[in-house]
């Protein structure tokens, strides 16, 4: 058997190789560090590379591997989205506001992965405070799509998706508030999973919209996602919204039969906004599922088209409050020579936040204001209930819902930045799951003009095992997820 180069292995493959001592964690880590450095001018996927610490952690992992005390993830490298607090390491959230912020603590997700023996390569780029769908709002410059560097990688977890697609990291953590894991995964041709709201602790994940934010993963395969999800999922006493239900072994059910699986096709997911070439790829994927024994049923979610406006009331409202702590007083950017308190606030925030963040803070402040609260915030919360009800109804007819992740493939940098509404509409298929707290995935299912297309799977609450099973079976029938951009082969 000819040895597969390190970077072409999945995370599961790396873990196996490490176990068999085919290579050491230091070798693997060094390989990725080299690829990161080489890619940085083109992709700009990383904000911070923690090379030295990574090699030190890899050496510790190697010792554990040698002594036979290793766990399933010992020595596997990965990257963290720069929204997760990492002790002693710069944690910028893609913002000038936190360009100088070294976190004094680890997020729960970071601590769990470290305790599982993974090696952190560094912190990946993202839209500022996770607000964006193209990674163009980052203070540290846009990330580029490895399939075509004229194109955006999607956002807000654009750095995570681009890094995995370019194999400069075998996996990356990510977060999803309205599609920020699934949409970039789709645009970069990788696997993304946003777990059920409450499945993964939000402690240490810098909040954008607390009722929607959920940490998750971007990987090369459903199998990799299953392996990592087992390490990050579970109740955290430091997050009141995390849910105390047992975490199953997600890898155990990956190969289960899909015979009789009821796949719901949401009528509203195949509307006129969907690019016809993308739709063709989606339909082809559905045919694969039929071959695997699944049944297709059409379901209706009549309130789903309201998800974008609903989201753009709820998310900005929460963000306007969540981002109030960035006031120049205790951490982060502080303006030079403040004249008085108001001047300190105005200039620190005015200088520290970018345009999109300001737009959302203003929108959120407006919808929560006296006289507007009922008309906007309360009404949006009611619509949110209706959308949740639509999904609940759909899940009486279907086990999972399958459709497109994004209406279009990756688009050129700068093409949508002038019109926020056009940009917001990119998340039209993904936002519903966030509003209802449902788990969702995106897996690669083909290409349009050399750009990847993503297939979205949405399941009922805590159905991650079933979703991963459906994704894995598809990935055993297809090899879209193993394609890699020529420049990074």
Tell me the catalytic residues: 81, 156, 180
User: Looking at beta carbons only, is 179 or 332 nearer to another protein?
Assistant: 332
* Least distance CB 239 / another protein (angstroms): 5
* Least distance CB 362 / another protein (angstroms): 12
* Least distance CB 432 / another protein (angstroms): 18
| Half-sphere CA count of 82, side-chain side, radius 13 A | 36
Nearest to 233 by CA among 180, 173, 183: 173
**Among residue numbers 222 through 261, which ones bind another protein (CB under 8 A)?**
237-241
Q: Per CB under 8 A, does 426 bind another protein?
A: no
**Euclidean distance between CA atoms 241 and 239, whole angstroms:** 5
User: Looking at beta carbons only, is 265 or 313 nearer to another protein?
Assistant: 313
**Euclidean distance between CA atoms 346 and 74, whole angstroms:** 47
Member of 150, 287, 341, 392 binding another protein (CB under 8 A): 341
* Least distance CB 84 / another protein (angstroms): 8
* Least distance CB 199 / another protein (angstroms): 15
| Half-sphere CA count of 468, side-chain side, radius 13 A | 30
From 93-101, 154-162, 258-266, 277-285, span contacting another protein (CB under 8 A): 93-101
User: Looking at beta carbons only, is 13 or 204 nearer to another protein?
Assistant: 204
User: Looking at beta carbons only, is 88 or 273 nearer to another protein?
Assistant: 88
User: Looking at beta carbons only, is 321 or 476 nearer to another protein?
Assistant: 321
* Least distance CB 97 / another protein (angstroms): 9
Member of 148, 245, 365, 388 binding another protein (CB under 8 A): 365
Q: How many residues bind another protein (CB under 8 A)?
A: 45
**Among residue numbers 20 through 79, which ones bind another protein (CB under 8 A)?**
none
**Among residue numbers 311 through 340, which ones bind another protein (CB under 8 A)?**
317-318, 320-321, 323-327, 329-332
Member of 31, 149, 211, 388 binding another protein (CB under 8 A): 211
From 57-65, 102-110, 131-139, 394-402, span contacting another protein (CB under 8 A): 102-110
- Whose tokens are 């890899």? That residue is 58
Q: Per CB under 8 A, does 98 bind another protein?
A: yes
User: Looking at beta carbons only, is 201 or 219 nearer to another protein?
Assistant: 201
From 83-91, 291-299, 405-413, 469-477, span contacting another protein (CB under 8 A): 83-91
From 85-93, 173-181, 395-403, 440-448, span contacting another protein (CB under 8 A): 85-93
Member of 210, 388, 415, 417 binding another protein (CB under 8 A): 210
**Euclidean distance between CA atoms 227 and 371, whole angstroms:** 49
* Least distance CB 215 / another protein (angstroms): 11
* Least distance CB 467 / another protein (angstroms): 25
SS3 labels along the chain: CCCCCHHHCCHHHHHHHHHCCCCCHHHHHHHHHHHHHHHHHHHCCEEEECHHHHHHHHHHHHHHHHCCCCCCCCCCEEEEECCECCCCCECCCCCHHHCCCECCCCCHHHHHHHHCCCEEEEEECCCHHHCCCCCCCCCCCCCCECCECCECCCCCCHHHHHHHHCCCCCCEEEEECCCCCHHHHHHHCCEEEECCCCCECCCCECCCCCCCCEEEEEECCHHHHHHHHHHHECCCCCCCCCCCCCCCCCCCCCCCCCCCCEEEEEHHHHCCCCCHHHHHHHHHHHHHHHHCCCEEEEECCCCHHHHHHHHHHHHHHHHHHHHHHCCCCCCCCCCCCCCCHHHHHHHHHHHHCCHHHHHHHHHHHHHHCCCCCHHHHHHHHHHHHHHHHHHHHHCCCCCEEEEECCCCCCCECCCCCCCHHHHHHHHCCCHHHHHHCCCEEEEEEEEECCEEEEEEEECCCCCHHHHHHHHHHHHHHCCHHHCCCHHHC
User: Looking at beta carbons only, is 52 or 337 nearer to another protein?
Assistant: 337
Member of 29, 45, 65, 101 binding another protein (CB under 8 A): 101
From 17-25, 42-50, 187-195, 207-215, span contacting another protein (CB under 8 A): 207-215
Q: Per CB under 8 A, does 388 bind another protein?
A: no
From 22-30, 90-98, 402-410, 441-449, span contacting another protein (CB under 8 A): 90-98
CB neighbours of 222 closer than 8 A, spacing ≥ 6? 191, 193, 254, 441, 443, 468, 471, 472, 474, 475
* Least distance CB 192 / another protein (angstroms): 21
Binding interface with another protein (CB under 8 A) = 84-85, 91, 93, 98, 101, 103-105, 107, 202-207, 209-211, 237-241, 317-318, 320-321, 323-327, 329-332, 341, 345, 365, 368-370, 373, 377
């Amino acid at each position: 058997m000819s040895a597969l180069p390190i970077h072409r292995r999945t995370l599961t493959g790396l873990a196996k190789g490490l176990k068999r001592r085919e290579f050491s964690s230091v070798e693997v880590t060094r390989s990725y560090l080299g690829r990161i450095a080489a890619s940085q001018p083109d992709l700009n996927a990383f904000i911070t590379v923690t090379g030295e610490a990574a090699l030190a952690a890899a050496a510790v992992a190697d010792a554990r591997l040698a002594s036979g005390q290793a766990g399933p993830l010992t020595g596997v490298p990965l990257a963290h989205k720069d929204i997760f607090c990492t002790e002693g390491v710069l944690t910028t959230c893609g913002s000038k506001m936190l360009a100088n912020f070294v976190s004094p603590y680890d997020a729960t997700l970071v601590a769990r992965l470290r305790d599982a023996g993974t090696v952190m390569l560094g912190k990946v780029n993202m839209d500022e405070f996770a607000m964006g769908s193209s990674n163009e709002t980052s203070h540290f410059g846009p990330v580029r799509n490895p399939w075509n560097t004229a194109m955006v990688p999607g956002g807000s977890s654009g750095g995570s998706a681009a890094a995995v697609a370019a194999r400069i990291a075998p996996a990356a953590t990510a977060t999803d508030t309205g599609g920020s894991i699934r949409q970039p995964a789709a645009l970069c041709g990788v696997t993304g999973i946003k777990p059920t709201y409450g499945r993964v602790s939000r402690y240490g994940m810098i909040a954008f919209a607390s009722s929607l934010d959920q940490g998750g993963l971007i990987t090369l395969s459903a199998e990799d996602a299953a392996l990592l999800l087992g390490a990050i999922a579970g109740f955290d006493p430091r997050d009141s919204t995390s849910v105390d239900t047992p975490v199953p072994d997600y890898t155990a059910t990956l190969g289960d039969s899909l015979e009789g699986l009821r796949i719901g096709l949401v009528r509203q997911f195949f509307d006129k906004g969907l690019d016809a070439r993308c739709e063709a790829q989606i339909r082809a994927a559905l045919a694969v599922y039929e071959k695997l024994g699944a049944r297709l049923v059409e379901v209706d979610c009549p309130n789903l088209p309201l998800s974008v406006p609903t989201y753009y009331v709820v998310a900005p409202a929460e963000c306007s409050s969540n981002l109030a702590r960035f006031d120049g007083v205790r951490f982060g950017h502080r303006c030079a020579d403040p004249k008085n308190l108001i001047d300190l606030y105005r200039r620190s925030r005015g200088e520290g936040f970018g345009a999109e963040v300001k737009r959302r803070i203003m929108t959120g402040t407006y919808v929560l204001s006296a006289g507007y609260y009922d008309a906007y915030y309360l009404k949006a919360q009611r619509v949110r209930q209706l959308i949740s009800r639509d999904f609940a109804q759909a899940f009486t007819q279907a086990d999972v819902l399958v459709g497109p992740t994004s209406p279009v493939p990756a688009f050129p940098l700068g093409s949508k930045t002038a019109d926020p509404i056009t940009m917001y509409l990119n998340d039209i298929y993904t936002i519903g799951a966030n509003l209802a707290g449902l788990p969702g995935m995106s897996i690669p299912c083909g290409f349009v003009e050399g750009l990847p297309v993503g297939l979205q799977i949405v399941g009922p609450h805590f159905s991650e095992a079933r979703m991963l099973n459906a994704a894995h079976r598809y990935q055993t029938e297809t090899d879209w997820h193993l394609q890699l951009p020529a420049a990074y082969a």
